[in-house]
Structure 1
Amino acid sequence: MSTDTAAVVRATVEDRVLEIVLDRPPANALGAPIVDGLTAAVARLADDDVRAVLVRSAVPGYFAAGADIKQMGTLDGPSFAAYRDALRHPLEALAASRVPSVAAIDGLALGGGLELAMACTLRLATPASTVGLPEVKLGLIPGAGGTQRLTRVAGRGVALDLMLTGRSVDGTEAHRLGIVDRLVDGDVVTEARALARGLAASSAPAVASIIACVDAAAGDVAAGMAFEGEEVVRMITEGEAPEGIAAFLEKRRPVWA
């Protein structure tokens, strides 16, 4: 990873939480430095000591303001496709992982910034935060999963409203619409870090299985029920349920791997 990339995206692990910090003033534009940094950081999901992820910003007023418009203005079709694929790669890896991830939105999360947040398992924001997918104002559409994830997170009507108009909403409305999972009046990073540490301290097989089952609920009902049925038994045969049950009966805290 280059020095520039390392400077704009920092990744550290503490208490089994991989904390990814975006730090590219003035707005965390998702140009090559942040995209490359995210790719390197998300690769650490494979580390054995990572049980949860926190994605946050060190730039006041911004989670991430979206794509680097100046960079986009220099791209032709093939190079734009390469940029799309480069941005999609870390976001898809984050979304597909069974390691839970938490986005701490403190400020603006627009365009690719919101797409990054939606690739996370859970999103926390302040009432003063702002989210939106304004690509239509540039004659574009969200291309890093926005059309798909916003629809799944908030429904077709909300997705069409925000994307067709390009309007942004504050954290309070985003929470009401289901885009944000928790609204935090105080320090959103502190609460998001506490949530991530709590997830990291839970049974990893159970956490991963819950995420997989909830994802399966987006498809056929019968198939989802069948998958859930298999998973609950697998928690006994391959997971940590025996330890959890024994700890409950013995009135002690469970010891997870």
Structure 2
Amino acid sequence: MPDPGRPDVGNTAVRWDRVADGVLRVTLERPPANALGKPIIEGLAAALDELDAAGNVITVVTSAIPGFFAAGADIKHMSGVDAESFLAYGNELRGVLDRLAAPNRVTIAAIDGLALGGGLELAMACTLRIAGAGARLGLPEARLGLIPGAGGTQRLPRLVGRGRALDIMLTARQVPAPEAHAIGLVDRLVADGQAEQEALKLAAELRRLSQPALHAVIRTVDAAFDLPLSAGFAYEVAQEQELFESGEAKEGLAAFLEKRPPKFV
């Protein structure tokens, strides 16, 4: 439940509230389907400003629209603009998703219903994805004569591999949640209507851990896709050494030896 001392804030399309110490819920609420137009882009940017100011916060991105996480980009807007405005709109969306995907934050997408096009790109920009059993995910841009242009062609292969990513994008099909879970597009599969609850539970668990360590895990895993193996090993060593010298490793090791919970920031 939201903290009664901290009411929801945001714009008309995105609101956020602190549901627990160190856990922020960001809720998309733009009927009828959470199209990722200017209102949601601006709302997400404002929510990210809040995250940056809050520091070590685990974030859950969810939806208040039944049947939809987010159905995609704002097609009506895209169809009525010129080339320059089309590029500007795409850059705004890409900028927000890139900020969301930064390795210095942990975010969890709670997907119940449809996550299509830009909606799936939003979910893939999050660190983890939890989906209800009836959710459906896809990148149908080929039906519009376009490609997934907000990171979809790059993030999807890193999650599911080249062949599966091509199958999903070339066919423009909707992937049922059980299949999405089996191929690694979704990290946890829960009963319908339970994605947000499970995401908030996981967020609370993660917040009790060392945030610098979690961020270092994300950075080193991401490096595995970009660096040769030997360079990846070297980067891993550097990250671990940094945690030992200036992170929270000393507190974690001391707490283990003293048989007490660690006091992480």
TM range (shorter): over 0.9
Q: Aligned partners of 1:156 and 1:7: how far apart in 2?
A: 38
Tell whether the 8 Å contact from 2:117 to 2:138 is kept in structure 1 after alignment: yes
Number of the residue aligned with 2:47: 41
The answer to whether 1:249 aligns with 2:257 is: yes
User: What is the TM-score normalised by the length of structure 1?
Assistant: 0.95
The answer to whether 1:230 aligns with 2:238 is: yes
Q: Aligned partners of 2:142 and 2:55: how far apart in 1?
A: 41
SS at match of 2:101: helix
Per-residue CA deviation, residues 88-110 of structure 1 (Å, 9 max, x unaligned), is 11100011242111000000000
Structure 2 matches for 1:199-214, cutoff 5 A? 199-214=206-221
Tell whether the 8 Å contact from 1:106 to 1:126 is kept in structure 2 after alignment: yes
Q: Aligned partners of 1:131 and 1:52: how far apart in 2?
A: 24
Q: Aligned partners of 1:97 and 1:12: how far apart in 2?
A: 22
Q: Aligned partners of 1:6 and 1:193: how far apart in 2?
A: 22
The answer to whether 1:12 aligns with 2:20 is: no
Q: Structure 2 counterpart of 1:87, which letter?
A: L
- State which drifts further: 132-141 or 218-227: 218-227
Instruction: From 199, 202, 205, give the equivalent of 1:195.
Output: 202
* Cα distance, 1:240–1:193 mapped onto 2, change above 3 Å: same
In the TM superposition, residue 164 of structure 1 has moved relative to its aligned partner by 0.7
Tell whether the 8 Å contact from 2:56 to 2:211 is kept in structure 1 after alignment: no
The answer to whether 1:218 aligns with 2:218 is: no
Structure 2 matches for 1:138-217, cutoff 5 A? 138-185=144-191, 187-217=194-224
Instruction: From 118, 143, 157, give the equivalent of 1:137.
Output: 143
Q: Aligned partners of 1:204 and 1:126: how far apart in 2?
A: 27
- State which drifts further: 56-65 or 232-241: 232-241
5+ long unaligned stretches in structure 1? none
Per-residue CA deviation, residues 186-229 of structure 1 (Å, 9 max, x unaligned), is 51110001111211221111111111111111121111100111
Number of the residue aligned with 2:7: none
The answer to whether 1:101 aligns with 2:104 is: no
Q: Structure 2 counterpart of 1:223, which letter?
A: A
5+ long unaligned stretches in structure 2? 1-9
Per-residue CA deviation, residues 225-254 of structure 1 (Å, 9 max, x unaligned), is 001111112111101111111111111100
Structure 2 matches for 1:52-91, cutoff 5 A? 52-91=58-97
Tell whether the 8 Å contact from 2:103 to 2:219 is kept in structure 1 after alignment: no
SS at match of 2:16: strand
Tell whether the 8 Å contact from 1:18 to 1:50 is kept in structure 2 after alignment: no
| Aligned structure 1 segments of 4 or more residues deviating by more than 6 angstroms | none
Of all paired residues, the percent bearing the same amino acid is 54
User: What is the TM-score normalised by the length of structure 2?
Assistant: 0.93
Q: Aligned partners of 2:103 and 2:65: how far apart in 1?
A: 26
Per-residue CA deviation, residues 174-195 of structure 1 (Å, 9 max, x unaligned), is 1111100111125111000111
Q: Aligned partners of 1:109 and 1:209: how far apart in 2?
A: 28
